[in-house]
Each structure stands twice: as structure tokens, then as C-alpha cells.
């Protein structure tokens, strides 16, 4: 209980000060790769997350996404704690990327961390996400991104439940929920020609 309260307090304080919630320092090691259980997040299927990668122009993303989705997914923003659609959501199903429709997390791994953002102990598959070192705001964290469209999802921390010991702290605005039985991927409507290329969205 004390750990949960402390975690929620840290997340809330940093969200107020910086607009980038869930900023509890991660245990990522030097060079951008996380130590402990995070060390192998993208190692089990090397290169798999480069297939069918979706790239769109900034103008296309703005036409497709809502303002909140764009701020989080493309500008690495963070919604305020306890305000997102899924922080207290418990329906069985799958959570997909709001940008490209790729399945990212399953309801079976969702848990109540007390931080005010949707929390998961594991992704649907390791090749569905990418992680990278985030040293912004004078903190040492591990950022989580969609492997298909490169959209910012949130951060991952090493204070989650067993067996993974991880807490994926994710913005609701970056997700779209598919109820159980309706998990089939539905890619968002394309506002214009979409380029599929093993690269990132041009800035």
C-alpha cells in the first residue's frame, strides 16, 4: 500500500510540474538499454517490429487523430492522471494503438497501479512495442512506443507485479479498446496515401 501511494504521488507530482506523467525514475542501464527484466524487451524476435511499418506525414496524422491523440502519440505528451478513458477500465478485450490499430496490450495483463494511468505488466507480444532511453526532464526513464507507427505510448518501470516485475504506464489517448470477441484489427481510416517503409515518420 505504501509503495502504491508513493508511486501515485511521484507520478502525480511530475505530471503537474512537467506535463509528462509517470516520471518515476526507471532502472534503465547505461547506453539506452534497460537492466533487469527490461533488457530483453525487443530481443526475442529481432527485426520483427520493422515489418509493415506505417509512416505518415505530420499533416496526415493531424487529420487522422484527435488533438489529444496527436499530442500524446506524435508530440510525446501526457494526459492528466485519472482523466483518461481507460485508467479504471476493466472490460475484457484488447488495447490497440490509436494511431495504426496494432494490438499492444491485453486486458489479462492490466492491473491497478494506483498511478492514474492504464498499467500493464506485459505487452501482447514483445515485437508490438519498442523501447528507448528517455533522459528528458532530468530523469532516467524508458519510453515505450508502438513498433508499427512509432507513436509514443508512455513509459515502463520496474515496479510492477510478478512474474514480469514491469509496469507499462500508458496514456489512454494512445489506445483504442476492442472488446473480447471483436479483437480483429481495424486500421484507422487513412486520410491520404500511407507509406509503408522501415523508417520513422518524417519530421
Active-site positions? 169
Place of cell 508490438: 128
Cα–Cα distance measured from residue 67 to residue 147, given in angstroms and rounded to the nearest whole number: 22
Sheet holding 110-111, edge to edge: 110-111, 119-120, 167-170, 152-157, 141-146, 129-134
And the C-alpha cell for 184? 480483429
**136-163: burial string, b at 16+ Cβ within 10 Å, e else:** eeeeebbbbbbbbbbbbbbbbbbbbeee
Q: What are 67's three cell numbers? A: 488533438
Evaluate whether 122 touches 10 at the Cβ level (below 8 Å): no
- Listed in sequence order, the residues at least 6 apart from 60 whose beta carbon sits closer than 8 Å to its beta carbon are 190, 191, 192, 194
Spatial contact of 99 and 174, defined as CB atoms under 8 Å apart:
yes
Amino acid at each position: 500500500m505504501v509503495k502504491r501511494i508513493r508511486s501515485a504521488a511521484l507520478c502525480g507530482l511530475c505530471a503537474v510540474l512537467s506535463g509528462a506523467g509517470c516520471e518515476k525514475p526507471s532502472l534503465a542501464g547505461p547506453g539506452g538499454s534497460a537492466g533487469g527484466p527490461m533488457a530483453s524487451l525487443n530481443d526475442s524476435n529481432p527485426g520483427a517490429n520493422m515489418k509493415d511499418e506505417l509512416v505518415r506525414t505530420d499533416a496526415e496524422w493531424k487529420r487522422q487523430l484527435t488533438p489529444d491523440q496527436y499530442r500524446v502519440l506524435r508530440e510525446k505528451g501526457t494526459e492528466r492522471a485519472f482523466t483518461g478513458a481507460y485508467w479504471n477500465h476493466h472490460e475484457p478485450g484488447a488495447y490497440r494503438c490509436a494511431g495504426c490499430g496494432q494490438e499492444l496490450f491485453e486486458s489479462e495483463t492490466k492491473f491497478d497501479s494506483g498511478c492514474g494511468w492504464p498499467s500493464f505488466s506485459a505487452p501482447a507480444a514483445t515485437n508490438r512495442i519498442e523501447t528507448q532511453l528517455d533522459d528528458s526532464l532530468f530523469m532516467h526513464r524508458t519510453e515505450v512506443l508502438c513498433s508499427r507507427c512509432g507513436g509514443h505510448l508512455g513509459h515502463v518501470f520496474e515496479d510492477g507485479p510478478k512474474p514480469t516485475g514491469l509496469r507499462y504506464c500508458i496514456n489512454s489517448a494512445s489506445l483504442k479498446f476492442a472488446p473480447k470477441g471483436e479483437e480483429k484489427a481495424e486500421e484507422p481510416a487513412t486520410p491520404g496515401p500511407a507509406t509503408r517503409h522501415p523508417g520513422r515518420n518524417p519530421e
